[in-house]
Amino acid sequence: MEVSDRTHHYIVLSYLNAWMVEHALPQATGNLLDYGSGGQPYRKLFETNVDRYVTADVAVYGELVPDILLRPNEAIDCKDGHFDTILSTQTLEHVEDPDFYLNECARVIKQGGTLILTAPMQWRHHEIPYDYFRYTRFGLETLLSRNGFSVQSIKSTGGAFALIGQILLNFLNERGVYRPLLYKIINRSALWLDRRFPDGEDVINWMVIAKKTNSA
């Protein structure tokens, strides 16, 4: 969660990390499932705040072997209502069948349990070819509602200027252009402009807290 303002992911991660600490962490309790855990970037933040931190993914990430190794579009090997909290960060866009994924979330979480979810609205292709969707806030609300969740809060990861800065940094990084001072100037300028001229329509990500409300 510590990221330098001289790196190309500073804009998006500064928003995500702050939201995780201020809004997501207080909601996490009991048994937590990191569903699509990947590199487990938020493990250290959450694992001291919950009774048990369980990871699940379709692949090993470096030396990180998930507790539950999944097969795509197959059910999680655990009983219904086993978890109190589910953490899903930047995973939903890589899921070929988002309804199946969210239905599984609803199945394995307790009634009243909390789903902490982030997903991109605008981002360049990544983890190719396993990159399927981008989401508006209304798309996320619709998907969550029909799979048994009620959205408690939804916030954007930056606005238009944060998005413009992030697009420029991603473009430079993928072309091997790395100038630490230039990156810092872009990062700081984009965030200053984002605060000065907030916008909720052209955004990088959505960050969601939802509750399990009924059987999916």
Question: Which pLDDT tens digits describe the chain residue by residue (216 residues)?
Answer: 789 999 999 999 999 999 999 999 999 999 999 999 999 999 999 999 999 999 999 999 999 999 999 998 889 999 999 999 999 999 999 999 999 999 999 999 999 999 999 999 999 999 999 999 999 999 999 999 999 999 999 999 999 999 999 999 999 999 999 999 999 999 999 999 999 999 999 999 999 999 999 755
Residues with Cβ < 8 Å from 125, sequence gap 6 or more? 131
Residue spans per domain, the chain: 13-158+204-212
Tell me if the pTM is above 0.85: yes
Residue 10: which H helix or E strand, with range? Answer: helix 10-19
In tens, the pLDDT along 28-71 reads 999 999 999 999 999 999 999 999 999 999 999 999 999 999 99
Token couple for 132: 């399927």
Position 96, amino acid: E
Our measurement of the distance from residue 150's CA atom to the centroid of its chain's CA atoms, rounded to an integer in Å, reads 17
pLDDT of residue 73: 83
Whose structure tokens read 């997501």?
A: 24
Architecture per CATH, domain 13-158+204-212, reads as 3-Layer(aba) Sandwich (3.40)
How many other CB atoms are there within 10 angstroms of residue 210's CB atom?
29
Q: What is the DSSP letter of 61?
A: B
Cis ω before 198 (30° cut-off from 0): no
Q: What are phi and psi of 33, to 5 degrees?
A: -105, 120
Q: At 132, is the secondary structure helix, strand, or coil?
A: coil
Position 78, amino acid: C
CA distances from 194 to 8, 15, 180, 206 (A): 17, 11, 21, 16
